[in-house]
Amino acid sequence: MDNAARVLDESEALAPPADGIVDLRAMLQADSAALAVMIVLKRRALSEGRALTLASVPDALKSLAIVYGVDKLIDP
């Protein structure tokens, strides 16, 4: 979870993607920490009045989101 906290801290300095799309095609491995980061980023975008779409979410991460009951939060 330390990595997730670090990623979230570092993400605050980044500009959101101009097209509102984060492509996860290159993600080779992900766990619940990655899922937490994605949810926080989506919520942050929503609170700022922006849309953020997670594209090419790996099937394993989709399955994990279903288990936790948060799949609607990461769906495009």
Q: Report yes or no: 62 and 32 within 8 Å, Cβ to Cβ.
A: no
Structure tokens at 7: 């990623």
Residue 21 sits at the vertex; the CA angle it makes with 9 and 32, to the nearest 5 degrees, is: 50
Domain positions in the chain: 2-9+18-74
User: What pLDDT was estimated at residue 76?
Assistant: 64
Provide the pLDDT for residue 43. 86
For residue 15, give the nearest of 48, 37, 54 by alpha carbon.
48
Give the Cα separation of 23 and 57 in Å (integer). 8
**What is residue 21's predicted lDDT score, i.e. its pLDDT?**
93
Q: For the chain (length 76 residues), average pLDDT per consecutive 10?
A: 72 80 88 85 88 91 92 81
**What was the pLDDT predicted at 65?**
93
pLDDT value at residue 64: 92
